[in-house]
């Protein structure tokens, strides 16, 4: 009897581009998936080593490898961050996700990770607003008018009962105007460009999405009761908020180790302005009801979002399952 060709037992691999991902992953679905991932993280049901950075300063960019296991899915995201790509009309963040079967190690899917990165980061901000912002919040201020500002607003609009006004500031005035016109029409919300950062921070919720390496938001400009989504700091040395602001706020991170290395807290920690003990906890602990979220209408809350791999893999798993249900084409990789 001849030996069976073992290659025939290998699963076929899905290849999914951005257009397929956009059809398969909505913001509402991402919000639920990301919230679930934070809960599992807090309950110790995930495996997620820290990001591995490949710094290419000579090219003014870097690559990051982000592996994770969550809820029966294993995978890795390979993502590049090149802040100056706008000059070539390219996204500053581009990514690819490989999803594998944790039972055998067989590859299941190779998919665009750029759209997933944008959507899941927005979703994480939405989850933070759900648990940390005042429920009567109605005015949102954005510092930065890029892709992340768009997905943050998409997510926040899903969790807030009512948004009365959005203000947006960007160093490039044209970007603010484009954002206001585009997102205003998309969501039917009153959005207006503003001339200064201070004007944008006069809000119930402030969202920062810049690559800044020096504080752009000052303590004196933030009123009691404000919630801040600090999204931009995702590498060592990046900082959007004045250290004194963090010192006088309830700071919640997505992952302590990662945030300490490359999140909004990394610079104040390295300068000794704050200590790890000053960090209130993780968003997962709040979602899992291990720690309280907002406790009154006066406290300032800050979500330090670095972007964690469990968000990517849980969304990739959702996309994969929906793609298989629709019987999208596959191919033999091995």
b/e for 72-107, b at 16 or more Cβ within 10 A?
ebbbbbbbbbbeebeeeeebbbbbebbbbeeeeeeb
Strands (E), 189-326: 191-193, 205-208, 213-217, 227-230, 239-241, 250-253, 281-282, 301-304
d(CA 191, CA 193): 7
State the Cα–Cα distance between residues 122 and 278, nearest whole angstrom: 26
- Residue 313 CA from chain centroid, whole number: 13
Q: Is 250 a catalytic residue?
A: no
Q: Do residues 51 and 146 touch, judged by C-beta distance below 8 A?
A: no
Q: Which of 77, 167, 250, 317 is catalytic?
A: 77
Q: Which H or E run contains 246?
A: helix 243-247
Rounded to whole angstroms, the Cα distance separating 205 from 228 reads: 6
Residues 6+ positions from 317 with CB-CB distance below 8 Å: 70, 71, 72, 73, 75, 99
Contact by Cβ (8 Å): 208, 229:
yes
Question: Two tokens at 191?
Answer: 């959005």
State both tokens at 258.
């990662």
* Residue 202 DSSP label: S
Query: β-pairing, 191-193 with 205-208?
Result: unpaired
Residues that are catalytic: 77
């Amino acid at each position: 009897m001849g030996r069976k060709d073992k290659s025939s037992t290998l699963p076929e691999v899905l290849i999914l581009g951005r257009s397929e991902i956009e059809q398969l992953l909505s913001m509402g679905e991402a919000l639920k998936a990301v919230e679930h991932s934070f809960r599992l993280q807090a309950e110790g049901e995930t495996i997620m080593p820290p990001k591995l950075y490949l710094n290419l300063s000579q090219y003014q960019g870097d690559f990051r490898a982000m592996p994770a296991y969550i809820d029966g899915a294993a995978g890795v995201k390979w993502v590049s961050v090149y802040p100056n790509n706008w000059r070539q009309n390219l996204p500053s963040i581009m990514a690819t996700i490989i999803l594998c079967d944790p039972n055998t190690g067989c590859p299941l899917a190779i998919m665009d990770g750029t759209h997933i990165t944008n959507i899941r980061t927005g979703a994480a901000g939405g989850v933070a607003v759900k648990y940390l912002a005042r429920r009567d919040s109605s005015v949102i201020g954005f510092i930065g008018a890029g892709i992340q500002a768009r997905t943050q607003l998409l997510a926040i609009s899903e969790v807030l009962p009512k948004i009365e006004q959005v203000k947006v500031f960007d160093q490039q005035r044209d970007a603010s105007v484009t954002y206001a016109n585009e997102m205003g029409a998309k969501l039917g919300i009153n959005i207006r460009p503003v001339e200064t950062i201070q004007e944008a921070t006069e809000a119930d919720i402030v969202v920062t999405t810049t690559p800044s390496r020096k504080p752009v938001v000052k303590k004196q400009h933030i009123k009691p009761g404000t919630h801040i989504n600090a999204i931009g700091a995702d590498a060592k040395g990046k900082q959007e908020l004045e250290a004194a602001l963090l010192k006088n706020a309830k700071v919640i991170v997505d992952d302590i180790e990662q945030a300490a290395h490359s999140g909004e807290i990394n610079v104040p920690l390295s300068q000794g302005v704050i200590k790890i003990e000053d960090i209130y906890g993780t968003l997962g602990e709040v979602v899992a009801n291990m720690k309280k979220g907002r406790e009154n209408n006066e406290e300032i809350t800050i979500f330090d979002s670095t972007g964690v791999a469990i968000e990517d893999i849980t969304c990739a798993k959702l996309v994969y399952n929906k793609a298989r249900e629709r019987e999208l084409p596959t191919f033999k990789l091995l």
